Amino acid sequence: MNKSVLFSHHGDNRAHREKQIKTPVLSVNSVVKYLLLLPIIILSACSPDPTPAPAPTETPTPTATASITSTPTLTLTPTLTPEPAWYEQIDASYAALEYRYGLVDRPDARRYTSLEDAVNKTGNFDYLPAIPAYVAIVGEESRDGRIYYQFNYGWMDSADVQLLTPSSYRGILLTRDVDFRFGWVLADTQSVNAAGTPVRTYSRYQIVHEIPALTENPGYVAVGPDEWLPEDSVALTSPRVPEDAGADTCRFIYVDLAEQTLRVYDQCKLVFASLVSTGKQAGWTVTGRFSILVKFPHLLLTPPWWSISVYYQEGVPNFMTYWGDLGFHGAYWHDDFGSPVSHGCVNLSPADAKWLYEWAGLGERVIISAGEKP
């Protein structure tokens, strides 16, 4: 309210009251009323004096000045996943490993028969059969300020071993039925809108899902309202039972070589999905229908006599064969899931390999499909 209006109103009341003042005439009734009110007036006078209210001071009303305000540009931030949540990562405890692992990349690194041989650098040693070699460390000893690692097959000075940090990547469990394709971003990538303007940055292994697109954008996958990711930056998979599984196949492991994905079905419903790494050369991972044959908690992997590959990998966790020497297993030596880099086996992250090892029984059906890129 304007203060000048208030002051004017008070002034009018005061002038009006001044006109109403007359000479008082005392009557008997007035005297009686006065005597009755006198004690109250006296009692009121005994109370502390009230703090006088400060007199209002008139302050000038500021004059508004016109200014030009720019309208902010609205940036849409699309939701990556619908509500309620449709997946959860497998528990982090699946990534726990029994051994520590190391890389030996020096061909002259000596593996000694015993700790004493390693400390004294005796002639009781050999060399690892392939370089680079991946070793499982089962023990550790310190002597004279130096550390020595124990393998299942000897001892080595720790100076010759580079400790590895296995991948912490984990696949997902489906918590409800979904009808859309979903997948993982394979490298740090920026999404764009239909005009090609960057929208946001996605990190490697980030989970996205496809949404219905109002317009076509060849070579891209719609992941939000007017938001697109390049097709080759995402490994997509589908929740539906694949056609090549067959009508009566409801519990099985399915590997898609084109997308480098693995799906696990139970009662004809998708329960688990993840990225894998299969053979880096065409034909190294054989396609077809197989079954889980043998399971090993840990295994030493070396190439068969007829193979042209060269590798040496100790303590490979959760190995399950499904055809000859080929199988599923954890890969602690790389973090390239979603890309074909193996010698023919289906590589999984340590966490995924353990989950699959516990889920699958002997005789479990396996389908390795050539797949088809979208």
d(CA 148, CA 159): 8
pLDDT band at 233 (very low <50, low <70, confident <90, very high): very high
Neighbours of 146 (CB within 10 A): 12
Closest CA to 297 of 358, 368, 352: 358
d(CA 109, CA 139): 18
Note the pLDDT of residue 373.
Answer: 61
Q: Which position has the token pair 């499904």?
A: 322
pLDDT at 61 over 50: no
pLDDT at 3 over 80: no
**209: enclosing H helix or E strand:** strand 207-209
pLDDT at 122 over 50: yes
pLDDT tens per residue, range 34-59: 333 333 333 333 333 333 434 444 44
Q: Which position has the token pair 């000048």?
A: 4
pLDDT tens per residue, range 176-214: 999 999 999 999 999 999 999 999 999 999 999 999 998
Minimum mean pLDDT range among 7-21, 106-120, 318-332: 7-21
Longest dimension (CA), the chain: 137
What pTM value is reported for the model? Answer: 0.77
β pairing state of 146-151 and 154-157 = antiparallel
pLDDT band at 67 (very low <50, low <70, confident <90, very high): very low
pLDDT, mean of residues 167-173: 98
pLDDT at 102 over 90: yes
pLDDT at 284 over 60: yes
